[in-house]
Amino acid sequence: MTGSVGAPAERREGREKVGGTARYAAEFHSPGRAQAWPVPSTVARGRVTGVDTAAALEMPGVLTVLTHENAPRLAEPDDPTLVLLQDARVPHRGWFVALVVAETLEAARAGAAAVRVAYDAEEHDVTLTASHPGVYVPEDANGGHPALREQGDPDGAFGSSAARVDVAYRVPPLHNHPMEPHTSTARWEDGRLILHTSSQGTGAVRAALAGLFGLPEERIVVTAEHVGGGFGSKGTPRPDVVLAAMAAHETGRPVTVALPRRCLPAVVGHRAPTLHRLRLGADTDGRLASLVHEVTTHTSRIKEFVEQAAVPARVMYAAPNSRTVHRVAALDVPSPSWMRAPGEAPGMYALESAMDELATELGMDPVELRIRNEPGVEPDSGRPFSSRHLVECLREGARRFGWAGRDPRPGVRREGPLLLGTGVSAATYPVMVGPSTATARALPDGSFLVRINATDIGTGARTVLAQVGADALGVPLERVLIEVGSTELPSAPLAGGSSGTASWGWAVHEACAGLAGRLAGHAGPLPAQGLEVRADTTGAADSESEFARHAFGAHFAEVAVDTVTGEVRVGRLLGVYAAGRILNARTARSQFVGGMTMGLGMALTEGSTMDAAFGDFTESDLASYHVPVHADVAGIEAHWLDEEDSRLNPMGSKGIGEIGIVGTAAAIGNAVHHATGVRLRELPLTPDRVLTGLLDRWT
């Protein structure tokens, strides 16, 4: 053991990224490379009755215009959002109805503007309400969770509870908006397809392309060398992948499709809006007798995706009677999908806000209320936890934050025009892990080469996997080379569900440990090609665990609410996490802080508005969709406990990419209530909402 794991190793590609030499998917310049620009539908429902491409085709530099009438026929994919230019149907506004391919990006854009599309438009319905007549209870929510779970008699127990909270919350649609838009550069060579893309997992991209184009996977190479963020929206292949491959096929040229920022809200998934109803019933000591979390959300007409926002309520608190249920309405909206902590982020906002309301109702400290409801086993499944240190996170967070002695009264701390308050929330995120392969090779020069089709989406995966490998080999970190981000490498799952490091690291550990064993028994110099060991964790990583495995955390926030404007500023945000062994202190802190910052955006600034008349999201650029800027993030701290858990993987790690966003919005919302005495139940807490609430209370 050389102690690489846990060290704050600098990310290996950091210099390339800062210096601008790291190549992203749009930067694979091969001779004759063409550019493309999509044409989005301007109706929310209907059919294309005609596409007039004549003006576009006459424009200088335009090579071709693909439409549903001339695009290559694709096999039916598993993912209906990839059935591009195959028929005249328009399932939502912004759906691509044509693609202009041209010599330059400017020519492609101008060509796209010149394409005339005629529609047979139908009435559309894009407005989600809890009482929408189309609402139904699906079989499963995202992640394969049963849509409905019930224990005991939640309604009866609620009715007879001494303390009750019955409240509704709303989380708006949210967009992932990674810095790098979804981009693919494709070229065909001798019947082989080579695609450079921006994806969280190239294996899934290759599998989708193989199906769509009827090609064996061996004839497709997909790389994602560097990825400028994804936050879930690059977890599945997106239209750029299919359009680039089609356009390259039709033109015989390499083609880049970099989706314009303004197109992203409609075609790369979004966090669906969620309407929550929470009913908590407790005895006078604060022990929950009943927990009911009912979620209503939307999906598109072509794909059922149900944000699993009631699922964390199955994990968090001991309540003998409970109901967690998801309802969904299929509307004429873009297809929702994964966005950082799908389910947990909106679900824990609602649950942890309701817990705060219950604490207020009981006159109990909200930290204490959570501790009092700590379960012995996972409430819904009855399984023991592999490890659960939520209480320790709450206590350590309270200590670091200075929670003790907090005056619980809302709306009493004034500094001039500012009202000050503090809030707390718990956080949880499940441990996921999947089978992976990897190879490790000892080279005669004393270095070691680890190869695995992991994807580094900005998390530092390269660096962390090298650390895992170095320790398993018992060599210094700098002697371990690593290759990731290509389907030419040993297959591995995607970077998603906070499972990447666990899944890949397991295989890297096995390969490197196996190689260390081989080397121990090896005498004499290594052969020129070195010695290689291959590992495959199938059967181990995907075996069913008898334990409930989750990471936990606690968030504390301090806010100042300006009574003049309704502006909320977060002076301090502090998170404490119990997420197994932390493999790289530097990159882990970035993940936690990044998640918390995204949670701050969810709380205060980020919101997307469905335009009922036109059927699209109004905020379509980064000037109007407000992700937090530096000035919004004052003091932010992430800490973790040294949690040991031998029931996870050889590294003892839990995922850390998503838990930072979970609970942050509730902690901030609870602090706003503590500051103002106003309980706002719809995110984001923008000045218009906060000021209106203040005026109702204070005048």
Partner 1 sequence: MKEFAYVRAGSVEEATSAYASRTGARYLGGGTNLVDLMKLGVEAPAALIDVTRLPLDSVEELPGGALRIGAMVRNSDLAAHPLVRHRYPALSQAVLAGASGQLRNAATTGGNLLQRTRCPYFQDLSKPCNKREPGSGCGARDGVHRDHAVLGHSAHCIATHPSDMAVALTALDGRVELVGPEGARSVAAADFHRLPGDRPEQDTEIRPGELVTGVVLPAATAGLSSAYRKARDRASYAFALASVAVVLRLEDGVIGHAGLAFGALAHRPWRARRAEEALLGAAPTRAAFEHAVDLELAAAQPLRDNAYKVPLARNLAVDVLSRLTDAALTGRAS
Question: Shortest approach of partner 1 to residue 257 CB, angstroms?
Answer: 17
Number of residues counted as binding partner 1 (CB under 8 A): 43
Q: What is the DSSP string of 542-584?
A: TSPPSSB-EEEEEEEEEEEEETTT--EEEEEEEEEEE-B--SB
Question: Shortest approach of partner 1 to residue 357 CB, angstroms?
Answer: 24
What whole-number distance in Å separates Cα of residue 132 and Cα of residue 40?
A: 28
HSE-up (13 A, CA, CB side) for residue 238: 34
Q: Which of residues 424-483 bind partner 1 (CB under 8 A)?
A: none
635 is a contact residue toward partner 1 (CB under 8 A): no
Among 321, 324, 537, 605, the residue binding partner 1 under the rule CB under 8 A is 605
Return the range that interacts with partner 1 (CB under 8 A); candidates 74-82, 100-108, 314-322, 442-450. 100-108
123 is a contact residue toward partner 1 (CB under 8 A): no
Q: Is the peptide bond between 684 and the residue preceding it cis, with omega within 30 degrees of 0?
A: yes
Q: How far is the CA of 307 from the CAs of 25, 148, 290, 418, in angstroms?
A: 30, 13, 23, 36
170 is a contact residue toward partner 1 (CB under 8 A): no
Among 21, 30, 104, 543, the residue binding partner 1 under the rule CB under 8 A is 104
Cβ atoms of residues 260 and 326 within 8 Å: no
- Of 378, 468, 484, the C-alpha closest to 649 is 468
Among 566, 650, 652, 677, the residue binding partner 1 under the rule CB under 8 A is 566
Question: Shortest approach of partner 1 to residue 452 CB, angstroms?
Answer: 39
Closest CB to partner 1 among residues 164, 626: 626
106 is a contact residue toward partner 1 (CB under 8 A): yes
Question: Shortest approach of partner 1 to residue 39 CB, angstroms?
Answer: 10
Return the range that interacts with partner 1 (CB under 8 A); candidates 230-238, 244-252, 419-427, 566-574. 566-574
- Of 612, 673, 604, 676, the C-alpha closest to 633 is 604
Question: Shortest approach of partner 1 to residue 349 CB, angstroms?
Answer: 19
Q: Does 658 participate in catalysis according to the annotation?
A: yes
Return the range that interacts with partner 1 (CB under 8 A); candidates 364-372, 479-487, 496-504, 603-611. 603-611
SS3 341: coil
164 CB neighbour count, 10 Å cutoff: 16
129 is a contact residue toward partner 1 (CB under 8 A): no
Q: Which two tokens stand for residue 147?
A: 């849509």
Return the range that interacts with partner 1 (CB under 8 A); candidates 211-219, 343-351, 389-397, 609-617. 609-617
73 is a contact residue toward partner 1 (CB under 8 A): no
Calculate helix-pair angle for 664-676, 344-362, nearest 10 degrees.
Answer: 30
Closest CB to partner 1 among residues 203, 607: 607
- Of 363, 365, 407, the C-alpha closest to 163 is 363
Percentages (nearest 5) of helix, strand, coil residues in the chain: 30, 25, 45
Question: Shortest approach of partner 1 to residue 103 CB, angstroms?
Answer: 10
Among 16, 17, 27, 61, the residue binding partner 1 under the rule CB under 8 A is 61
Look at strands 116-121 and 46-52 and give their pairing.
antiparallel
Closest CB to partner 1 among residues 56, 578: 56
216 CB neighbour count, 10 Å cutoff: 7
What whole-number distance in Å separates Cα of residue 64 and Cα of residue 250?
A: 8
Closest CB to partner 1 among residues 22, 691: 691
Sign of the C-alpha dihedral, residues 46, 49, 55, 61?
A: positive
Among 565, 585, 586, 697, the residue binding partner 1 under the rule CB under 8 A is 565
Among 277, 581, 626, 647, the residue binding partner 1 under the rule CB under 8 A is 626
Closest CB to partner 1 among residues 577, 617: 617
Single out the catalytic residue among 250, 396, 510, 658.
658
521 CB neighbour count, 10 Å cutoff: 6
Sign of the C-alpha dihedral, residues 511, 512, 515, 516?
A: negative
Question: Shortest approach of partner 1 to residue 267 CB, angstroms?
Answer: 15
Among 18, 404, 528, 631, the residue binding partner 1 under the rule CB under 8 A is 631
Cβ atoms of residues 259 and 184 within 8 Å: no
Tell me the H-state helices in 260-319: 264-267
Closest CB to partner 1 among residues 60, 476: 60
110 is a contact residue toward partner 1 (CB under 8 A): yes
60 is a contact residue toward partner 1 (CB under 8 A): yes
417 is a contact residue toward partner 1 (CB under 8 A): yes
Q: Which two tokens stand for residue 274?
A: 């969620």
Among 303, 569, 572, 581, the residue binding partner 1 under the rule CB under 8 A is 569
**AA identity, residue 605:** T
629 is a contact residue toward partner 1 (CB under 8 A): yes
Question: Shortest approach of partner 1 to residue 38 CB, angstroms?
Answer: 13
Q: Which of residues 309-368 bind partner 1 (CB under 8 A)?
A: none
Closest CB to partner 1 among residues 179, 629: 629
What whole-number distance in Å separates Cα of residue 185 and Cα of residue 197?
A: 6
What whole-number distance in Å separates Cα of residue 387 and Cα of residue 535?
A: 27
676 is a contact residue toward partner 1 (CB under 8 A): no
What whole-number distance in Å separates Cα of residue 356 and Cα of residue 557?
A: 13
Among 2, 42, 86, 447, the residue binding partner 1 under the rule CB under 8 A is 42
HSE-up (13 A, CA, CB side) for residue 580: 29
Return the range that interacts with partner 1 (CB under 8 A); candidates 102-110, 165-173, 306-314, 591-599. 102-110
Q: How far is the CA of 443 from the CAs of 450, 463, 474, 526, 667, in angstroms?
A: 11, 20, 15, 7, 51
Cβ atoms of residues 110 and 306 within 8 Å: no
Q: Which two tokens stand for residue 670?
A: 């609870």
- Of 442, 443, 431, the C-alpha closest to 472 is 442
Return the range that interacts with partner 1 (CB under 8 A); candidates 58-66, 370-378, 542-550, 641-649. 58-66
What whole-number distance in Å separates Cα of residue 651 and Cα of residue 588?
A: 15
564 is a contact residue toward partner 1 (CB under 8 A): yes
Question: Shortest approach of partner 1 to residue 625 CB, angstroms?
Answer: 10
Among 536, 632, 637, 682, the residue binding partner 1 under the rule CB under 8 A is 632
Closest CB to partner 1 among residues 284, 618: 618
Question: Over 121-135, what HEC string results?
Answer: ECCCCCCCCCCCCCC
What whole-number distance in Å separates Cα of residue 633 and Cα of residue 557?
A: 12
567 is a contact residue toward partner 1 (CB under 8 A): yes
Closest CB to partner 1 among residues 60, 517: 60
Q: Which two tokens stand for residue 546?
A: 């008898």
Return the range that interacts with partner 1 (CB under 8 A); candidates 6-14, 20-28, 226-234, 689-697. 689-697
Among 75, 118, 162, 695, the residue binding partner 1 under the rule CB under 8 A is 695
What whole-number distance in Å separates Cα of residue 157 and Cα of residue 572?
A: 38
614 is a contact residue toward partner 1 (CB under 8 A): yes
Closest CB to partner 1 among residues 107, 582: 107
Tell me the H-state helices in 363-436: 366-372, 390-401
Which residue numbers are catalytic?
658
Residues near partner 1 (CB under 8 A): 40, 42, 59-61, 104, 106-107, 109-110, 113, 417, 563-567, 569, 604-605, 609, 611-614, 618-620, 623-624, 626, 628-632, 686-689, 691-692, 695
